[in-house]
Structure 1
């Protein structure tokens, strides 16, 4: 059939490819992670496979759409304005820099924090093709914004990003100090945020401090409940962590966490 169009969704190379009729109605989609073509209208099966041929990997399967899981149904019922999945790293800071009226010094600090969140967010986004799910800029009413929430085989990780500014960073039980700047209460904040996430998701959540571009990171020996990572150490650490969640658990937690209403 002529006129079928292939439209991508999601992040480049990872989302689905939808096959639509000229009037916009979908007749099939190709899930690149599952390597499966789901055909909604069987009479267009051959035309769908023909138009998708340049994109298909070897060993792909073809059939009707799979039965939706509870996580799928929750996602389909989620109003777009309540969906946090499209948020970019540093979403709140982008808005503040664009529309805020902060002075030059404050804007410089915001830009440093934005670059740090974008750097760490890029590292986390790269994990998504390996059974990981990540959310950015989750609003925690009354407590600010959680920079990143990572869900994968080793569990759930609540991440606060700190710009190291090419200086020495010291992480203690209650405070974090970068260079000669005033100490920051990041360790206490991430503990509280992880506890809040654990209640919201009814699952264990590990607090993480991600220190970006520090010349050196020193962690007090008494800090045992918080993981302190840097962009170049995050992926190796996560890859070696023991598996505690299966794929359906990951998808169910991701479907829950992406709903803004869960965090109120």
Structure 2
């Protein structure tokens, strides 16, 4: 049985579930330590609280973590720390805007069904893309671009930067053409044109080439016209491997710099 957690310390998560830090706070809200689950490291801000911090975090630890003072922050980390929460897109979950519509809007039955369906495919694709983060990739979800709505997922990593638009296949045949995408017998939609425009806007905002990708979720069959060469057409099961196999064009500091720029909502307000 683990030792009881000291009543005067609380453990609070930050960031996406399972991926962010765990902060250990005093009753007045001041942090005395944090646990980085990916690095398996406890950073202590107050050494006298060391034993109490270890006891509080014990149920959450994986293996034997490194324990010590916080590492010296890089320039990119300092820029991220200076970003106010209302300007930071990094905490966005897949389908963040749709979650807001369901929680605070009042859509009717048919519209609510449409929103839930769109949310489901964004969450499935977002979860698969989040799995890339251990390989040097950074993922943003629900990035607002003026005049275009929102980019479902922005993928930044060694293989470059990519805008990803999710499409619900609804267990039907999906046909991707140069200008339109058809799902079953429903009216074709201009998703290929939209994702090209979104990628161009992202390239202008970030000052770097950005690729376009369509992620088709739950299609019974997926057909892509041979003339579609400038858009990656992906499915959740194969998307992480496809991005991971992309030839390396960015170094880790460049990835972090682009991620720091992309997570600031002000970057997107001019586009």
What TM-score do the two structures reach when normalised by structure 2? 0.85
Give 1:242's match in structure 2, choosing from 244, 247, 264: 247
Q: Does residue 67 of structure 1 match 2:72?
A: yes
Q: In the alignment, which residue of structure 1 is the partner of 2:164?
A: 159
The answer as to whether partners of 2:131 and 2:240 remain within 8 angstroms in 1 is no
Which segments of 5 or more consecutive residues in structure 1 lack a partner in the other structure? none
Shift of residue 101, structure 1, vs aligned partner: 6.2
- Deviation digits for residues 61-101 of structure 1, max 9, x if unmatched? 33322222222222222222222222222222334455556
The answer as to whether partners of 2:23 and 2:33 remain within 8 angstroms in 1 is yes
* Structure 1 consecutive aligned stretches of length 4 or more whose deviation exceeds 6 Å: none
Q: In the alignment, which residue of structure 2 is the partner of 1:256?
A: 261
Q: In the alignment, which residue of structure 1 is the partner of 2:118?
A: 113
What value does the CA root-mean-square deviation take over the aligned residues? 2.5
The answer as to whether partners of 2:16 and 2:91 remain within 8 angstroms in 1 is no
Q: In the alignment, which residue of structure 2 is the partner of 1:81?
A: 86
Q: Residues 1-264 of structure 1: matches in 2 within 5 Å?
A: 3-58=8-63, 60-97=65-102, 105-264=110-269
- Deviation digits for residues 22-57 of structure 1, max 9, x if unmatched? 332212222222222222223334443454445444
Question: CA separation in 2, counterparts of 1:250 and 1:105?
Answer: 41
The answer as to whether partners of 1:70 and 1:252 remain within 8 angstroms in 2 is no
CA distance 1:12–1:142, change in 2 (3 Å):
closer
Shift of residue 180, structure 1, vs aligned partner: 1.7
Question: CA separation in 2, counterparts of 1:86 and 1:105?
Answer: 29
What TM-score do the two structures reach when normalised by structure 1? 0.87
Which segments of 5 or more consecutive residues in structure 2 lack a partner in the other structure? none
Question: CA separation in 2, counterparts of 1:45 and 1:99?
Answer: 42
Determine helix, strand or coil for the equivalent of 1:214.
coil
- Deviation digits for residues 100-131 of structure 1, max 9, x if unmatched? 56665544433332222122122223333443
- Deviation digits for residues 205-252 of structure 1, max 9, x if unmatched? 111001111111111111111100011121222233333334333332
